[in-house]
Amino acid sequence: MLSLREGYIALIPFFIVASLITLINQWLDIAAKGFDHDYLNQFNQLVWGLFPLFTLISFSYHLAKNIKIHTIAAPILVTSCFVATTGYIFVDDQSLRIDHRVGVLYTLFMPIFCCYLLAYFERTRAFKIVEVSTISLFLKKHVNLIFPYMLVTTITLLLYPFVDLAVDYVLSYLALEQLEFSAEDKVTLQLLGAHLLWFLGVHGDNTYHILVSSDLSGFMVTSELINYHFFSTFVILGGTGCVWGLIIACLLLKKGNHEKHIAKLSAPLAVFNISEVMLYALPIVFNPYILIPFLIAPAFNAIISYQLLVNGFIPIVTQESIPWFTPVFVNAWILTESLWVVLLQVFLIAANVAIYYPFLVAHQKNNMSGKALDMLVKRYSAGRMIEDQAESSFATHHAKQQISGYSLTEVTDALNNGALTLYYQPKINPVSKEIVGFEALLRLVNPDKSVSGPWFLETLGEHNLLHVIDNFVIDQLEVDLDTFAQHGQYPKVSFNISPDNLLSGGYKRVVKAFSRFADQVEVELLESSYIEDFSKTMSIVNTLKSNKIHCAMDDFGTGYSCLSVLSKLNIDTIKFDKSLLPDQDNEKAAVLYKNLADLCAQLGFNTVAEGVETKEDESVVKAANIGCVQGFLYYKAMPIEQAIDIYGTKIEN
Burial of 178 (0-12, 13-18, 19+ CB in 10 A): exposed
Which pLDDT score is estimated for 646? 92
**pLDDT tens-digit map of 51-79:** 788 888 988 998 888 887 888 889 999 99
Instruction: Give the amino acid at 570.
Output: N
362 lies in the same domain as 374:
no
Are the CB atoms for 194 and 209 separated by under 8 Å? no
pLDDT at 358: 93
Q: Please give the share of the chain, as a percent, with pLDDT higher than 70.
A: 81
Instruction: Please answer whether residues 143 and 129 qualify as being in contact, where contact means their C-beta atoms are separated by less than 8 angstroms.
Output: yes
Q: What domain range is 398 assigned to?
A: 370-646
Rounded Cα–Cα distance for residues 113 and 116 (Å): 6
* Three-state secondary-structure class, residue 283: coil
- Computed over every residue of the chain, the mean pLDDT equals 81
459 and 535 within one domain: yes
359 and 396 inside one domain: no
Residue 45 belongs to some domain of the structure: no
CA 606/CA 626 separation, integer angstroms: 8
Q: Work out the pLDDT band at 134, boundaries 50, 70, 90.
A: low
Reported as a pLDDT band with limits 50, 70 and 90, residue 394 is very low
- Would you state the pLDDT for residue 77? 92
Contact 265/277 with Cβ under 8 angstroms?
A: yes
Question: Is there a single domain that holds both residue 200 and residue 279?
Answer: yes
Which H helix or E strand runs over 424?
strand 419-428
Q: Which helix (H) or strand (E) holds 479?
A: helix 466-486
The answer on 516 and 590 residing in a single domain is yes
* Confidence bin at 318 (pLDDT 50/70/90): confident
CA dist., res. 154 & res. 393, Å (int): 36
CA distances from 638 to 194, 422, 443, 585, 634 (A): 46, 9, 10, 32, 12
482-517 residue pLDDT tens: 889 888 899 999 999 888 888 888 889 999 999 999
**Of 279 and 575, which is predicted with more confidence?**
575
Segment among 11-20, 160-169, 598-607 with least mean pLDDT: 11-20
Residue 430 has pLDDT above 80, yes or no: yes
Cα–Cα nearest to 430, from 583, 644, 576, 641: 576
Q: What is the mean pLDDT of residues 320-332?
A: 82
Q: Quick: pLDDT tens for 137-194.
A: 667 777 888 898 999 999 998 988 888 788 777 766 655 555 577 888 888 888 898 8
Residue 111 lies in a domain: yes
Q: Tell which of 140, 161, 178 closes a domain.
A: 178
How many angstroms separate the CA atoms of 191 and 298, rounded?
7
Quick one: average pLDDT of 313-328?
Answer: 81
Q: Measured between alpha carbons, how far is 89 from 264 in angstroms, rounded to an integer?
A: 39
Highest mean pLDDT among 58-67, 129-138, 292-301, 449-458: 292-301
Instruction: Please check the confidence at residue 391 and state whether its pLDDT lies above 50.
Output: no
Question: CATH number, domain at 394?
Answer: 3.20.20.450
pLDDT at 490: 93
| Closest residue by Cα to residue 18 from 45, 37, 57 | 45
Select the more confidently predicted residue: 572 or 285. 572
Is there a domain that residue 20 lies in? no
Q: In the beta sheet, which residues pair with residue 96?
A: 91
Task: Out of 143, 178, 213, pick the residue that ends a domain.
Answer: 178
Residues 510 and 532 in one domain: yes
Residue 399: pLDDT above 60?
A: no
For the whole model, what pTM was predicted?
0.58
pLDDT for residue 372 = 56
Q: Where are the beta strands (DSSP E) in 343-385?
A: none
Q: How many domains does the chain fold into?
A: 3
Residues in the chain: 653
Give the E-state strand segments of 497-580 in sequence order: 521-526, 550-556, 573-576
Last residue of a domain, one of 178, 195, 210: 178
Strand-strand pairing, 628-629 and 573-576: unpaired
Residue at 19 is within a domain: no
The C-alpha atoms of residue 276 and residue 16 are separated, in whole angstroms, by: 8
Pair type for strands 451-452 and 628-629: unpaired
Does 396 have pLDDT greater than 60? no
Q: In whole angstroms, give the CA distance from residue 402 to residue 279.
A: 49
pLDDT at position 27:
66
Residue with the larger pLDDT of the pair 344 and 276: 344
Dihedral angle sign, alpha carbons of residues 228, 233, 234, 236: positive
**Does residue 102 carry a pLDDT above 50?**
yes
Q: Is 182 left (phi over 0), alpha (psi -120 to 50) or beta?
A: beta
pLDDT of residue 279: 81
pLDDT of 538 higher than 70 = yes
Does residue 34 lie in a domain region?
no
First to last CA, the chain: 47
Whether 10 is in a domain gets the answer no
DSSP state at residue 505: I
Distance CA 156, CA 77 (A): 10
Indicate whether 143 and 203 sit together in one domain: no
CA–CA distance, 372 with 481 (Å, rounded to integer): 11
Cβ-Cβ contacts under 8 Å for 299 (sequence gap 6 or more): 191
User: One-letter amino acid identity for 433?
Assistant: K
**Averaged pLDDT, 320-326:** 76
User: What's the count of helices (H) and strands (E) in the chain, helices before strands?
Assistant: 30, 11
Q: Which pLDDT score, from 0 to 100, does residue 115 have? A: 92
Whether 95 and 192 map to the same domain: the answer is no
Structural domain contains residue 113: yes
Determine the residue type at 165. Answer: L
The whole-angstrom separation of Cα 312 and Cα 96 is 52
Which amino acid type is present at position 153?
Answer: T
Q: Where are the alpha helices (H) located in 177-211, listed in sequence order?
A: 183-199, 204-211
Q: Biggest alpha carbon distance in the chain?
A: 100
Q: Are residues 491 and 592 in the same domain?
A: yes
Residues 355 and 375 in one domain: no
Q: How confident is residue 481, by pLDDT bands cut at 50, 70 and 90?
A: very high
- Tell me how far apart the alpha carbons of residues 345 and 234 are, in angstroms, rounded to a whole number: 7
Predicted pLDDT of residue 579: 85
pLDDT at position 400 over 50: no
pLDDT value of position 228? 86
Rounded Cα distance between 336 and 135, Å, is 73
Residues 348 and 208 in one domain: yes
Burial 589-626 (b: 16+ CB within 10 A, else e): bbeebbebbeebbeeebbbbbbbbeeeebbebbeebeb
- Shared-domain flag, residues 225 and 274: yes
Rounded distance, CA 117 to CA 147, Å?
A: 12
Look at residue 469 in the predicted model and tell me its pLDDT.
87
What confidence score (pLDDT) does residue 40 get?
64
Q: What is the pLDDT of residues 263-275, one digit of tens each?
A: 898 898 888 888 8
Helix, strand, coil percentages for the chain (3-state, nearest 5): 60, 10, 30
The helix or strand, by DSSP H or E, that contains position 496, with its residue range, turns out to be strand 492-496
Whether residue 252 is predicted with pLDDT greater than 50 in this model: the reply is yes
What pLDDT was estimated at residue 405? 46
Is pLDDT larger for residue 141 or for residue 571?
A: 571
Q: Is residue 22 in some structural domain?
A: no
